[in-house]
Chain A
Amino acid sequence: MTFLHWIGETIREQLLHIPMWVARWLFIGLLLVLMGWVVQLPVAAVTPPGRRSQWYEDLRIWAWLALMFQIVIYSVF
């Protein structure tokens, strides 16, 4: 076994100890963190500049929706 094999095997054995439900929550957690990040984006960064924007032009809504779909999908499957 080479040094590289040893590194890989060590990491693999550590990962094997992680229960599958924790792995699933890591996926969902990543999406939740992104949802939180999207919500706190400044209005100026998510709406058209130089004019009063409509509610549907706020990109946070659609980004949040895309992430919500992902969370549902990773919760179900």
Chain B
Amino acid sequence: MSIHLGPVDYLVIVSYLCATMVIGLWVGSYVRSGSDFFLAGRSLPWWAIGMSLVATDIGGTDLVGVGGDTYRYGLVMGNFEWIGCVPAMLVAGFVFIPHLWRCNVTTIPEYLERRFSSSLRTVVAACWLLLMACNLGVMLLASAKFMHTLAQWDMSVSIVVTALLVGIYTWSGGLRAVVFTDVLQGVVMIAGCLMVLVLGIYEMGGFEPFVDKVHDAVHARRQREKESRPLEEFAENGGIERTRESRSDRKSNHFSLVQPVDSPSPGPWPAILFGLALVVSPGYWIGNQSIVQRSLGAKSEYEAKASYVYGALLKTLIPFMVAIPGLIALVKFPELGHGEADRALPMLVGYLLGEGWRGLFVAAFLAALMSSVDSYLNSATTIYVNDFYRKFYRPHADEGLLLAIGRWTTIGFVLWAVYFAFQLMVVPAGLYTIFQTMMSFIVGPTLGVILLGMLSSRNNAEGALIGFIGGVFTSIGLFLLNQDFVADWLNIEPLFRIGQAYLYYSIWAFIATILLAWLFSYFGKPDAPEKRRYSISEWKPFEEAAP
């Protein structure tokens, strides 16, 4: 089932797109230099950055995917926005982001060169550039698939039009355009989702009846599964479902954020607490250039901190808007199986919303998509220009040249993203999954070297480089050992019991990075004082450091 869009819906969607373009191009008219393009001239206010952080973090596919996963597994998906964001954002906002802002860097790899070495900068930049370039294509394709399901839009047209629109305003205004269009996109996204939430809860007769109906729907689904499957299959899931079945109060785990170790959901509690809250989330909010870059463009250190705190407050609301509709859909459409759960949200929207309002929801989806694509586009450009072009080719390039190169590179990445999205349409689904898992390969090692660099002056450049490379290989190795075809080839069981084990890859990659870096640093020479002064404990502003 797809959403039927009428003329009023299209009017709403076109109005939103026009508003986005007007804001992006208007802001872009003030861009005069490379510094304006990459860091918005360090003039961004906290409220715009905070909203932009949240809008960037929620992609179009997340909006529909989280609804689908909540339909399948319950409110546990809210962990990815709550404990999977808020603690890390606050620690990042008070400790790490201000230090990066004080160091006056444009990219995370640039900081790693100042603190450690040029080699580490290049390796980290190459890994993130590869990830971002691939992600651009993945996001365009995934969103085009959703738009096809949602509104029967042609996938090829969706890919080209989205890339073109995002490309134009990012080309024009760089980071400033990205952040201010994100503000509009964030408002539209929140309004669209809030509308579905409020109408859905009203339809259920209030919150308490809604909770009871969810428990009943899960109970009924379990009964159906029990009748259609032999008992042995329940035991294969660690007996989780049998245990729940024996409960007499008919309450399900669908409202529980803390799930058992062997839960079939993507969020058993050790993975959420140790993998998500302590590794992936800090790595994402401290080490992901597309997130951190906007705070580096804040007008002051205080505004950089305030943006993260404001973002953390906004994050508290997000699961209510993106996850709860999945539970409402579970009550309204209990017949969907696990395989069709991603249809839950589009079906709910089609059922709840009238003409015009459906257009607002589609606009919210487009807003979520565009706010993520523009950030990755701008950050990929920033890394390429600063960490490769300027570093290796034109170290003394003036601001005008950097602006021109930045804009040309943006065009290059737009073309690449469209090409890659079309290529992904014809590759096997397994390869597509690999690209979606790539973040988990580098986020743990990136966090490891940043923490070691900022919190300790004893770790040296060789240790950090070996630690980072070792961490990346650890996560890739674990990923491979968890694939069925590799396990069959080696005649072993897949390494992890849960299907989506990317949180576990990140934990072990982080641990490997820390151990290797510490070991090689312990037996090696300490870095020179001009490197060590970029750690937080030995930080000296430039004027103090000068002889």
Contact = CB atoms under 8 A, between A and B. Distances in A.
B305 A46 contact: yes
A77 interface: yes
B258 A67 contact: no
A74 B313 CA distance: 16
Interface string B306-320: 100110110110000
A34 B302 contact: no
Contacts of A15: 261, 270
Contact of A77 (B255, B313, B315): B255
A66 B86 contact: yes
Contacts of B313: 62, 65-66, 69
Given A59-B306, A73-B82, A24 B87 contact: no
Interface stretch (B377-385, B386-394, B492-500, B514-522): B492-500
Interface in A22-52: 23-24, 26-27, 30-31, 34, 38, 41, 45-49
Contact of A26 (B261, B273, B493, B497): B273
Contact of A45 (B94, B261, B316, B493): B94
Nearest to B258: A24
Contacts of B98: 45
State which size class the interface on A falls in: 20 to 34
A31 B255 CA distance: 20
A66 B260 contact: no
A54 interface: no
Contacts of B305: 45-46, 59
B302 A70 contact: no
Contacts of B301: 49
B45 to A, nearest CB: 13
Nearest to B74: A77
B90 A34 contact: yes
A53 B300 CA distance: 15
Nearest to A45: B94
B269 A23 contact: yes
Interface in B266-304: 269-270, 272-273, 277, 300-302
Interface string B482-495: 00000000001101
A66 to B, nearest CB: 4
B83 A30 contact: yes
B103 interface: no
A33 B481 CA distance: 36
Given A2-B492, A23-B258, A59-B306, A67 B94 contact: no
A67 B496 CA distance: 32
Please report whether the interface of chain A is mostly helix, strand, loop or mixed according to DSSP.
helix
Given A16-B262, A66-B86, A67-B86, A30 B269 contact: no
Contacts of B270: 15
A2 B86 CA distance: 37
A14 to B, nearest CB: 10
B17 interface: no
A43 to B, nearest CB: 12
Nearest to A61: B309
A5 B495 contact: yes
A12 B495 contact: no
B257 interface: yes
B83 A66 contact: no
Interface string B71-84: 00001001000110
Given A16-B261, A48-B300, A70 B309 contact: no
B310 A5 contact: no
Contact of A27 (B91, B94, B258, B312): B258
B256 interface: yes
Given A30-B273, A49-B302, A70-B83, A4 B481 contact: yes
Contact of A5 (B86, B94, B273, B493): B493
Interface of B: 75, 78, 82-83, 86-87, 90-91, 93-94, 98, 255-258, 260-262, 269-270, 272-273, 277, 300-302, 305-306, 309-310, 312-313, 315-316, 481, 492-493, 495-497
Nearest 7 CB-CB pairings of A with B: A66-B312, A23-B269, A69-B316, A77-B257, A24-B258, A48-B302, A66-B313
23 contacts: A2-B492, A8-B495, A8-B496, A15-B270, A16-B261, A27-B277, A30-B277, A38-B94, A41-B94, A45-B305, A49-B302, A59-B306, A62-B310, A63-B312, A66-B86, A66-B315, A67-B86, A67-B87, A69-B313, A70-B82, A70-B316, A73-B82, A77-B257
Given A20-B269, A48-B300, 9 more contacts: A12-B262, A20-B260, A31-B83, A38-B94, A48-B302, A66-B86, A66-B309, A77-B78, A77-B255
